[in-house]
Structure 1
Protein backbone atom coordinates (compact mmCIF):
# COMPACT_ATOMS: atom_id res chain seq x y z
CA UNK A 1 0.00 0.00 0.00
CA UNK A 2 1.34 3.41 -0.94
CA UNK A 3 1.45 5.92 1.89
CA UNK A 4 0.33 9.52 1.38
CA UNK A 5 3.27 11.91 1.78
CA UNK A 6 3.00 14.42 4.64
CA UNK A 7 1.83 17.81 3.57
CA UNK A 8 4.69 20.28 3.60
CA UNK A 9 4.20 23.36 5.74
CA UNK A 10 4.46 26.51 3.65
CA UNK A 11 5.09 30.17 4.46
CA UNK A 12 1.41 30.83 3.72
CA UNK A 13 0.35 28.15 6.22
CA UNK A 14 2.60 29.66 8.89
CA UNK A 15 1.11 33.11 8.22
CA UNK A 16 -2.42 31.66 8.42
CA UNK A 17 -1.68 30.01 11.77
CA UNK A 18 -0.13 33.12 13.33
CA UNK A 19 -2.87 35.36 11.89
CA UNK A 20 -5.48 33.14 13.53
CA UNK A 21 -3.66 33.45 16.85
CA UNK A 22 -3.60 37.24 16.53
CA UNK A 23 -7.28 37.52 15.60
CA UNK A 24 -8.42 35.20 18.38
CA UNK A 25 -6.32 36.94 21.03
CA UNK A 26 -3.84 34.13 21.66
CA UNK A 27 -1.24 36.62 20.51
CA UNK A 28 -2.24 40.02 21.87
CA UNK A 29 -1.32 43.53 20.63
CA UNK A 30 2.24 44.27 21.69
CA UNK A 31 3.23 40.61 22.20
CA UNK A 32 6.64 39.57 20.91
CA UNK A 33 6.49 36.66 18.47
CA UNK A 34 8.55 33.52 19.13
CA UNK A 35 11.97 33.57 17.50
CA UNK A 36 12.48 32.24 13.99
CA UNK A 37 14.25 29.20 15.43
CA UNK A 38 11.39 28.47 17.83
CA UNK A 39 8.83 28.79 15.03
CA UNK A 40 10.97 26.69 12.69
CA UNK A 41 11.08 23.90 15.28
CA UNK A 42 7.33 24.17 15.89
CA UNK A 43 6.36 23.97 12.21
CA UNK A 44 9.19 21.69 11.06
CA UNK A 45 10.55 24.12 8.50
CA UNK A 46 13.63 26.25 7.93
CA UNK A 47 14.01 29.76 9.43
CA UNK A 48 13.88 31.09 5.87
CA UNK A 49 10.35 29.70 5.44
CA UNK A 50 9.35 31.18 8.79
CA UNK A 51 10.72 34.56 7.68
CA UNK A 52 8.67 34.41 4.48
CA UNK A 53 5.54 33.67 6.51
CA UNK A 54 6.15 36.59 8.86
CA UNK A 55 6.81 38.86 5.89
CA UNK A 56 3.24 38.11 4.77
CA UNK A 57 1.95 39.31 8.14
CA UNK A 58 4.13 42.41 7.93
CA UNK A 59 2.67 43.25 4.51
CA UNK A 60 -0.80 42.92 6.03
CA UNK A 61 0.13 45.30 8.82
CA UNK A 62 -0.38 42.73 11.59
CA UNK A 63 3.26 42.41 12.64
CA UNK A 64 6.08 44.94 12.88
CA UNK A 65 9.84 44.42 13.04
CA UNK A 66 12.00 46.02 15.71
CA UNK A 67 15.68 46.56 16.32
CA UNK A 68 17.46 43.39 17.35
CA UNK A 69 15.39 41.25 15.00
CA UNK A 70 12.32 40.97 17.23
CA UNK A 71 8.87 40.82 15.64
CA UNK A 72 5.89 42.12 17.56
CA UNK A 73 2.12 42.09 17.09
CA UNK A 74 1.22 45.62 16.15
CA UNK A 75 -0.63 47.56 18.82
CA UNK A 76 -2.28 50.95 18.85
CA UNK A 77 -5.11 52.95 20.36
CA UNK A 78 -7.27 54.25 17.51
CA UNK A 79 -9.02 57.58 17.90
CA UNK A 80 -12.65 58.07 16.91
CA UNK A 81 -12.70 60.93 14.40
CA UNK A 82 -16.29 62.11 14.07
CA UNK A 83 -16.26 64.00 10.78
CA UNK A 84 -19.89 65.05 11.15
CA UNK A 85 -19.08 67.09 14.24
CA UNK A 86 -15.56 68.14 13.25
CA UNK A 87 -15.55 71.91 12.64
CA UNK A 88 -19.33 72.01 12.57
CA UNK A 89 -21.80 74.21 14.46
CA UNK A 90 -20.54 75.51 17.78
CA UNK A 91 -16.84 74.88 17.36
CA UNK A 92 -14.74 74.04 20.37
CA UNK A 93 -11.73 76.15 19.36
CA UNK A 94 -10.10 78.25 22.06
CA UNK A 95 -6.72 79.77 22.81
CA UNK A 96 -5.79 76.39 24.34
CA UNK A 97 -6.38 74.39 21.14
CA UNK A 98 -8.45 73.99 17.99
CA UNK A 99 -11.49 71.78 17.45
CA UNK A 100 -9.38 68.68 16.73
CA UNK A 101 -7.16 69.10 19.80
CA UNK A 102 -10.17 69.67 22.04
CA UNK A 103 -11.81 66.45 20.84
CA UNK A 104 -8.61 64.50 21.54
CA UNK A 105 -8.39 65.92 25.06
CA UNK A 106 -12.06 65.08 25.64
CA UNK A 107 -11.15 61.46 24.85
CA UNK A 108 -8.49 61.48 27.58
CA UNK A 109 -5.53 61.67 25.20
CA UNK A 110 -2.79 64.28 24.77
CA UNK A 111 -2.71 66.15 21.42
CA UNK A 112 0.01 68.29 19.85
CA UNK A 113 0.43 69.94 16.45
CA UNK A 114 3.76 70.76 14.83
CA UNK A 115 3.27 73.45 12.17
CA UNK A 116 5.26 74.61 9.15
CA UNK A 117 4.08 77.29 6.70
CA UNK A 118 4.83 77.45 2.97
CA UNK A 119 3.98 80.17 0.43
CA UNK A 120 4.04 79.31 -3.25
CA UNK A 121 2.11 78.68 -6.47
CA UNK A 122 -0.98 76.48 -6.43
CA UNK A 123 -0.70 73.26 -8.38
CA UNK A 124 -3.58 72.17 -10.61
CA UNK A 125 -5.32 70.16 -7.87
CA UNK A 126 -5.18 72.87 -5.20
CA UNK A 127 -6.19 75.49 -7.76
CA UNK A 128 -9.22 73.39 -8.68
CA UNK A 129 -10.27 72.98 -5.05
CA UNK A 130 -9.85 76.69 -4.27
CA UNK A 131 -11.24 77.82 -7.64
CA UNK A 132 -8.21 79.96 -8.43
CA UNK A 133 -5.92 80.03 -11.46
CA UNK A 134 -3.11 77.45 -11.45
CA UNK A 135 0.06 79.13 -10.25
CA UNK A 136 -1.80 81.61 -8.04
CA UNK A 137 -0.07 82.30 -4.75
CA UNK A 138 -1.40 80.24 -1.86
CA UNK A 139 -0.47 79.70 1.76
CA UNK A 140 -0.12 76.14 3.02
CA UNK A 141 -0.10 75.25 6.70
CA UNK A 142 1.30 71.74 7.21
CA UNK A 143 0.48 70.19 10.57
CA UNK A 144 1.90 66.96 11.94
CA UNK A 145 -0.69 66.00 14.55
CA UNK A 146 0.39 63.70 17.36
CA UNK A 147 -1.59 61.88 20.02
CA UNK A 148 0.29 60.81 23.16
CA UNK A 149 3.50 61.77 21.28
CA UNK A 150 2.76 59.34 18.39
CA UNK A 151 2.14 60.68 14.85
CA UNK A 152 -1.55 60.33 14.01
CA UNK A 153 -2.28 62.72 11.13
CA UNK A 154 -0.51 64.77 8.49
CA UNK A 155 -2.75 67.70 7.55
CA UNK A 156 -2.11 70.33 4.85
CA UNK A 157 -4.46 73.33 4.66
CA UNK A 158 -4.26 75.59 1.60
CA UNK A 159 -5.63 79.15 1.59
CA UNK A 160 -5.79 81.80 -1.17
CA UNK A 161 -3.29 84.58 -0.44
CA UNK A 162 -6.11 87.15 -0.55
CA UNK A 163 -7.52 85.50 2.58
CA UNK A 164 -4.29 84.62 4.41
CA UNK A 165 -2.25 87.78 3.85
CA UNK A 166 -1.65 89.71 7.07
CA UNK A 167 -3.35 87.12 9.26
CA UNK A 168 -2.23 84.47 11.78
CA UNK A 169 -2.47 81.90 8.96
CA UNK A 170 1.07 82.96 8.03
CA UNK A 171 2.43 82.35 11.54
CA UNK A 172 4.53 79.20 11.88
CA UNK A 173 3.03 77.98 15.14
CA UNK A 174 -0.02 76.15 16.42
CA UNK A 175 -2.59 78.94 16.19
CA UNK A 176 -6.14 78.54 17.48
CA UNK A 177 -8.88 81.09 18.12
CA UNK A 178 -12.45 80.90 19.44
CA UNK A 179 -14.72 79.88 16.57
CA UNK A 180 -11.77 79.00 14.34
CA UNK A 181 -9.16 81.16 12.60
CA UNK A 182 -11.18 81.69 9.42
CA UNK A 183 -14.19 82.99 11.35
CA UNK A 184 -11.90 85.21 13.43
CA UNK A 185 -10.41 86.88 10.34
CA UNK A 186 -13.79 87.41 8.68
CA UNK A 187 -13.96 84.41 6.33
CA UNK A 188 -16.09 81.80 8.13
CA UNK A 189 -16.78 78.44 6.53
CA UNK A 190 -20.51 78.16 5.82
CA UNK A 191 -20.46 74.64 4.37
CA UNK A 192 -17.93 71.92 3.62
CA UNK A 193 -17.51 69.12 1.11
CA UNK A 194 -15.63 65.94 2.01
CA UNK A 195 -13.84 63.44 -0.22
CA UNK A 196 -12.27 60.29 1.24
CA UNK A 197 -9.86 58.00 -0.58
CA UNK A 198 -8.33 54.83 0.89
CA UNK A 199 -4.87 54.14 -0.51
CA UNK A 200 -1.34 53.13 0.32
CA UNK A 201 0.96 55.93 1.54
CA UNK A 202 3.81 57.44 -0.39
CA UNK A 203 7.36 57.24 1.06
CA UNK A 204 7.25 60.72 2.63
CA UNK A 205 3.94 59.98 4.38
CA UNK A 206 5.26 56.65 5.63
CA UNK A 207 8.33 58.32 7.09
CA UNK A 208 6.59 61.30 8.71
CA UNK A 209 3.80 59.17 10.19
CA UNK A 210 6.14 56.32 11.18
CA UNK A 211 4.00 53.75 9.37
CA UNK A 212 4.78 50.03 9.51
CA UNK A 213 4.88 48.35 6.09
CA UNK A 214 1.47 47.43 4.73
CA UNK A 215 -0.43 50.19 6.55
CA UNK A 216 -3.06 51.91 4.37
CA UNK A 217 -4.13 55.50 4.92
CA UNK A 218 -7.32 57.49 4.50
CA UNK A 219 -6.88 60.69 2.51
CA UNK A 220 -9.58 63.06 3.75
CA UNK A 221 -10.09 66.18 1.64
CA UNK A 222 -12.33 68.88 3.11
CA UNK A 223 -13.18 71.94 1.03
CA UNK A 224 -14.52 74.82 3.12
CA UNK A 225 -16.80 77.36 1.40
CA UNK A 226 -17.52 80.94 2.46
CA UNK A 227 -19.97 83.44 1.03
CA UNK A 228 -18.11 83.89 -2.26
CA UNK A 229 -16.49 80.50 -2.79
CA UNK A 230 -13.81 78.22 -1.31
CA UNK A 231 -11.74 79.62 1.55
CA UNK A 232 -9.71 76.52 2.42
CA UNK A 233 -8.75 73.11 1.06
CA UNK A 234 -7.52 70.73 3.78
CA UNK A 235 -5.97 67.35 3.01
CA UNK A 236 -5.50 65.06 6.00
CA UNK A 237 -3.61 61.76 5.81
CA UNK A 238 -4.87 59.43 8.55
CA UNK A 239 -3.24 56.00 9.13
CA UNK A 240 -5.78 53.20 8.95
CA UNK A 241 -4.56 51.50 12.12
CA UNK A 242 -5.02 54.67 14.23
CA UNK A 243 -8.48 55.90 13.23
CA UNK A 244 -12.13 55.03 13.16
CA UNK A 245 -13.97 57.50 10.92
CA UNK A 246 -17.55 58.28 11.94
CA UNK A 247 -20.36 60.10 10.11
CA UNK A 248 -23.81 60.75 11.53
CA UNK A 249 -26.42 61.70 8.93
CA UNK A 250 -30.15 62.39 9.08
CA UNK A 251 -32.16 60.27 6.63
Structure 2
Protein backbone atom coordinates (compact mmCIF):
# COMPACT_ATOMS: atom_id res chain seq x y z
CA UNK A 1 0.00 0.00 0.00
CA UNK A 2 1.40 3.37 -1.02
CA UNK A 3 1.14 6.14 1.54
CA UNK A 4 -0.42 9.48 0.69
CA UNK A 5 1.91 12.13 -0.70
CA UNK A 6 2.12 15.29 1.46
CA UNK A 7 0.61 18.33 -0.20
CA UNK A 8 2.72 21.38 -0.96
CA UNK A 9 1.34 23.40 1.94
CA UNK A 10 2.19 20.55 4.32
CA UNK A 11 5.77 20.53 3.00
CA UNK A 12 6.02 24.28 3.63
CA UNK A 13 4.54 23.91 7.11
CA UNK A 14 7.06 21.18 7.92
CA UNK A 15 9.99 23.34 6.76
CA UNK A 16 8.86 26.34 8.80
CA UNK A 17 8.07 24.09 11.77
CA UNK A 18 11.64 22.74 11.67
CA UNK A 19 13.07 26.26 11.57
CA UNK A 20 10.99 27.34 14.56
CA UNK A 21 11.59 24.25 16.72
CA UNK A 22 15.35 24.26 16.05
CA UNK A 23 15.70 27.96 16.81
CA UNK A 24 16.58 29.17 13.33
CA UNK A 25 13.47 31.31 13.67
CA UNK A 26 13.52 32.56 17.25
CA UNK A 27 10.47 32.98 19.54
CA UNK A 28 8.89 36.36 18.95
CA UNK A 29 10.65 36.82 15.61
CA UNK A 30 8.54 38.16 12.76
CA UNK A 31 8.33 35.84 9.75
CA UNK A 32 8.87 37.29 6.26
CA UNK A 33 5.76 38.71 4.63
CA UNK A 34 3.28 36.23 3.17
CA UNK A 35 4.09 37.49 -0.33
CA UNK A 36 7.81 37.06 0.38
CA UNK A 37 7.33 33.52 1.70
CA UNK A 38 5.14 32.65 -1.28
CA UNK A 39 7.91 33.79 -3.62
CA UNK A 40 10.52 31.86 -1.66
CA UNK A 41 8.57 28.61 -1.85
CA UNK A 42 7.28 29.36 -5.38
CA UNK A 43 3.63 28.90 -4.46
CA UNK A 44 0.52 31.05 -4.46
CA UNK A 45 -0.36 33.11 -1.39
CA UNK A 46 -3.40 30.86 -0.95
CA UNK A 47 -1.15 27.79 -0.56
CA UNK A 48 1.22 29.71 1.70
CA UNK A 49 -1.63 30.80 3.97
CA UNK A 50 -2.77 27.18 4.27
CA UNK A 51 0.71 26.30 5.54
CA UNK A 52 0.65 29.15 8.04
CA UNK A 53 -2.83 28.11 9.17
CA UNK A 54 -1.44 24.67 10.09
CA UNK A 55 1.26 26.27 12.26
CA UNK A 56 -1.19 28.72 13.80
CA UNK A 57 -3.45 25.82 14.82
CA UNK A 58 -0.42 24.09 16.39
CA UNK A 59 0.42 27.22 18.37
CA UNK A 60 3.80 27.70 16.67
CA UNK A 61 2.84 30.84 14.75
CA UNK A 62 0.78 33.80 15.91
CA UNK A 63 -0.83 36.17 13.42
CA UNK A 64 -1.21 39.72 14.73
CA UNK A 65 -3.56 41.84 12.66
CA UNK A 66 -1.74 44.63 10.85
CA UNK A 67 1.70 43.42 11.93
CA UNK A 68 2.24 40.00 10.40
CA UNK A 69 3.08 36.45 11.48
CA UNK A 70 5.36 35.77 14.45
CA UNK A 71 6.95 32.66 15.90
CA UNK A 72 5.26 32.10 19.25
CA UNK A 73 7.08 32.05 22.54
CA UNK A 74 6.87 28.65 24.26
CA UNK A 75 3.62 28.49 26.18
CA UNK A 76 3.97 29.00 29.94
CA UNK A 77 1.23 27.44 31.98
CA UNK A 78 -0.73 29.32 34.59
CA UNK A 79 -2.87 27.83 37.33
CA UNK A 80 -6.53 28.59 37.92
CA UNK A 81 -7.48 27.81 41.53
CA UNK A 82 -11.13 26.80 41.77
CA UNK A 83 -13.53 27.99 44.42
CA UNK A 84 -12.60 31.65 44.66
CA UNK A 85 -11.30 32.01 41.14
CA UNK A 86 -7.75 33.04 41.97
CA UNK A 87 -5.51 33.17 38.92
CA UNK A 88 -2.18 32.15 40.37
CA UNK A 89 0.73 32.58 37.93
CA UNK A 90 3.47 32.04 40.50
CA UNK A 91 2.86 28.29 40.62
CA UNK A 92 4.18 27.90 37.06
CA UNK A 93 7.53 29.34 36.06
CA UNK A 94 6.78 32.54 38.03
CA UNK A 95 5.04 33.96 35.00
CA UNK A 96 4.48 37.70 35.47
CA UNK A 97 0.92 38.28 34.30
CA UNK A 98 -1.09 41.44 34.19
CA UNK A 99 -4.85 41.62 33.84
CA UNK A 100 -6.53 44.36 31.82
CA UNK A 101 -10.19 45.10 32.47
CA UNK A 102 -12.91 46.95 30.57
CA UNK A 103 -16.09 47.81 32.49
CA UNK A 104 -19.55 48.49 31.15
CA UNK A 105 -23.24 48.34 32.03
CA UNK A 106 -25.29 45.95 29.86
CA UNK A 107 -28.86 44.60 29.91
CA UNK A 108 -29.35 40.94 30.81
CA UNK A 109 -30.17 38.92 27.71
CA UNK A 110 -30.23 35.29 26.55
CA UNK A 111 -28.35 32.80 28.70
CA UNK A 112 -27.31 35.50 31.18
CA UNK A 113 -30.91 35.83 32.36
CA UNK A 114 -30.91 32.10 33.12
CA UNK A 115 -27.48 32.04 34.79
CA UNK A 116 -28.18 35.08 36.97
CA UNK A 117 -31.89 34.27 37.45
CA UNK A 118 -32.93 37.84 36.56
CA UNK A 119 -35.56 39.26 34.18
CA UNK A 120 -34.57 40.16 30.63
CA UNK A 121 -33.27 43.72 30.49
CA UNK A 122 -32.05 43.83 34.09
CA UNK A 123 -28.94 46.06 34.34
CA UNK A 124 -25.70 44.15 34.83
CA UNK A 125 -22.18 45.32 35.55
CA UNK A 126 -19.90 43.70 32.95
CA UNK A 127 -16.16 43.18 33.40
CA UNK A 128 -14.24 41.97 30.33
CA UNK A 129 -10.82 40.80 31.54
CA UNK A 130 -7.78 39.66 29.55
CA UNK A 131 -4.70 38.31 31.29
CA UNK A 132 -1.45 38.58 29.37
CA UNK A 133 2.32 38.34 29.65
CA UNK A 134 3.75 41.10 27.50
CA UNK A 135 1.72 40.91 24.29
CA UNK A 136 0.82 37.23 24.73
CA UNK A 137 -2.75 36.63 26.02
CA UNK A 138 -3.24 33.85 28.58
CA UNK A 139 -6.92 34.00 29.47
CA UNK A 140 -10.22 35.72 28.88
CA UNK A 141 -13.02 36.35 31.39
CA UNK A 142 -16.43 37.97 31.14
CA UNK A 143 -17.79 38.62 34.62
CA UNK A 144 -21.36 39.78 35.29
CA UNK A 145 -22.79 41.19 38.54
CA UNK A 146 -26.28 42.61 39.16
CA UNK A 147 -25.81 46.38 38.82
CA UNK A 148 -26.96 47.11 42.37
CA UNK A 149 -24.29 44.75 43.77
CA UNK A 150 -21.35 46.17 41.81
CA UNK A 151 -18.51 47.50 44.00
CA UNK A 152 -18.76 51.27 44.48
CA UNK A 153 -16.89 53.35 41.94
CA UNK A 154 -15.88 50.60 39.53
CA UNK A 155 -18.33 51.72 36.83
CA UNK A 156 -17.64 55.44 37.10
CA UNK A 157 -15.60 55.26 33.89
CA UNK A 158 -17.48 52.74 31.76
CA UNK A 159 -15.80 51.14 28.73
CA UNK A 160 -12.28 52.14 29.79
CA UNK A 161 -9.43 49.64 29.93
CA UNK A 162 -7.28 49.64 33.02
CA UNK A 163 -4.88 47.44 34.93
CA UNK A 164 -6.18 45.50 37.92
CA UNK A 165 -4.92 42.97 40.43
CA UNK A 166 -8.16 40.96 40.60
CA UNK A 167 -6.71 38.13 38.50
CA UNK A 168 -10.24 36.92 37.65
CA UNK A 169 -11.08 36.43 41.34
CA UNK A 170 -14.65 36.76 42.62
CA UNK A 171 -15.35 40.50 42.48
CA UNK A 172 -18.51 40.70 44.57
CA UNK A 173 -18.77 40.45 48.36
CA UNK A 174 -17.72 37.03 49.74
CA UNK A 175 -20.33 34.54 48.51
CA UNK A 176 -21.77 31.66 50.49
CA UNK A 177 -21.26 29.18 47.66
CA UNK A 178 -19.41 28.96 44.36
CA UNK A 179 -20.36 26.45 41.67
CA UNK A 180 -18.06 25.88 38.70
CA UNK A 181 -18.73 23.91 35.52
CA UNK A 182 -15.69 22.98 33.44
CA UNK A 183 -15.66 21.83 29.82
CA UNK A 184 -13.26 21.54 26.89
CA UNK A 185 -14.49 22.83 23.54
CA UNK A 186 -13.40 24.68 20.38
CA UNK A 187 -13.10 28.46 20.81
CA UNK A 188 -15.65 30.86 19.37
CA UNK A 189 -14.29 33.23 16.68
CA UNK A 190 -14.19 36.07 19.24
CA UNK A 191 -12.34 33.90 21.78
CA UNK A 192 -9.82 32.71 19.19
CA UNK A 193 -9.17 36.30 18.17
CA UNK A 194 -8.78 37.56 21.76
CA UNK A 195 -6.48 34.69 22.76
CA UNK A 196 -4.66 34.65 19.39
CA UNK A 197 -5.09 30.93 18.89
CA UNK A 198 -6.23 28.81 15.97
CA UNK A 199 -9.76 27.51 15.78
CA UNK A 200 -8.41 23.95 16.07
CA UNK A 201 -6.91 24.60 19.54
CA UNK A 202 -9.27 23.47 22.32
CA UNK A 203 -10.01 25.83 25.18
CA UNK A 204 -10.82 25.14 28.82
CA UNK A 205 -14.12 26.91 29.55
CA UNK A 206 -15.22 27.51 33.15
CA UNK A 207 -18.65 28.85 34.10
CA UNK A 208 -18.51 30.11 37.69
CA UNK A 209 -21.70 30.99 39.58
CA UNK A 210 -21.49 32.60 43.04
CA UNK A 211 -24.52 32.81 45.35
CA UNK A 212 -25.17 34.44 48.73
CA UNK A 213 -26.73 32.91 51.84
CA UNK A 214 -30.26 33.50 50.47
CA UNK A 215 -29.46 31.66 47.23
CA UNK A 216 -29.36 34.83 45.12
CA UNK A 217 -26.85 34.73 42.28
CA UNK A 218 -24.39 37.56 42.98
CA UNK A 219 -21.93 36.92 40.17
CA UNK A 220 -21.47 34.88 36.99
CA UNK A 221 -18.06 34.51 35.36
CA UNK A 222 -17.41 33.00 31.93
CA UNK A 223 -13.71 32.08 31.82
CA UNK A 224 -11.80 30.78 28.81
CA UNK A 225 -8.17 29.61 28.64
CA UNK A 226 -6.16 27.92 25.88
CA UNK A 227 -6.28 24.23 26.76
CA UNK A 228 -2.50 23.82 26.65
CA UNK A 229 -1.79 26.92 28.73
CA UNK A 230 -3.57 26.34 32.02
CA UNK A 231 -3.98 23.87 34.86
CA UNK A 232 -7.20 24.02 36.89
CA UNK A 233 -6.86 23.02 40.54
CA UNK A 234 -9.89 22.26 42.72
CA UNK A 235 -9.64 21.36 46.43
CA UNK A 236 -12.31 19.35 48.24
CA UNK A 237 -12.69 19.94 52.00
CA UNK A 238 -14.07 17.04 53.98
CA UNK A 239 -16.98 18.03 56.21
CA UNK A 240 -17.05 16.22 59.54
CA UNK A 241 -20.44 15.58 61.06
CA UNK A 242 -20.42 17.16 64.54
CA UNK A 243 -22.84 14.52 65.75
CA UNK A 244 -20.28 11.83 64.95
CA UNK A 245 -17.69 13.71 66.99
CA UNK A 246 -20.00 13.82 69.99
CA UNK A 247 -21.02 10.19 69.68
* Alignment length (residue pairs): 220
Are the structure 2 counterparts of residues 203 and 180 from structure 1 closer, same or farther at C-alpha, using a change threshold of 3 Å?
closer
The gaps in structure 1 that reach 5 residues or longer are 41-45, 89-98
Q: 1:111 aligns with which of 87, 97, 108?
A: 97
Structure ID, larger Rg: 1
Q: 1:182 aligns with which of 142, 149, 172?
A: 172
Q: 1:203 aligns with which of 174, 189, 192?
A: 189
CA apart distance, 1:248: 4.5
Quote the residue 2:140 is aligned against. 154
Quote the residue 1:231 is aligned against. 218
The gaps in structure 2 that reach 5 residues or longer are 32-36, 239-247
Instruction: Confirm or deny that 1:167 pairs with 2:164.
Output: no
Are the structure 2 counterparts of residues 160 and 47 from structure 1 closer, same or farther at C-alpha, using a change threshold of 3 Å?
same
CA apart distance, 1:52: 8.1
Matches of 1:189 and 1:29, distance apart in 2 = 49
**Deviations for 1:200-245, whole angstroms, at most 9, x for unmatched residues?**
3333333332334533322211011111221100011212342233
SS in 1 for 2:172: helix
Matches of 2:212 and 2:25, distance apart in 1 = 45
Quote the residue 2:51 is aligned against. 54
Are the structure 2 counterparts of residues 134 and 122 from structure 1 closer, same or farther at C-alpha, using a change threshold of 3 Å?
same
Are the structure 2 counterparts of residues 112 and 16 from structure 1 closer, same or farther at C-alpha, using a change threshold of 3 Å?
closer
Please tell me whether the aligned partners of residues 17 and 55 of structure 2 are also in contact (alpha carbons under 8 angstroms). no
**Deviations for 1:170-192, whole angstroms, at most 9, x for unmatched residues?**
35555568x96423xxxx21221
Alignment of 1:1-251 (within 5 A): 8-11=5-8, 14=11, 30=26, 47=43, 51=48, 54-55=51-52, 57-58=54-55, 60-64=57-61, 74-84=72-82, 87=84, 99-100=86-87, 103-105=88-90, 107=92, 108-164=94-150, 167-172=152-157, 173-174=162-163, 181-183=171-173, 188-212=174-198, 214-229=200-215, 230-249=217-236
CA apart distance, 1:145: 1.6
Alpha-carbon RMSD:
4.3
Matches of 1:66 and 1:158, distance apart in 2 = 30
Matches of 2:63 and 2:170, distance apart in 1 = 41
Matches of 1:182 and 1:218, distance apart in 2 = 23
Matches of 2:25 and 2:221, distance apart in 1 = 33
Instruction: Judge which range, 49-58 or 129-138, deviates more.
Output: 49-58
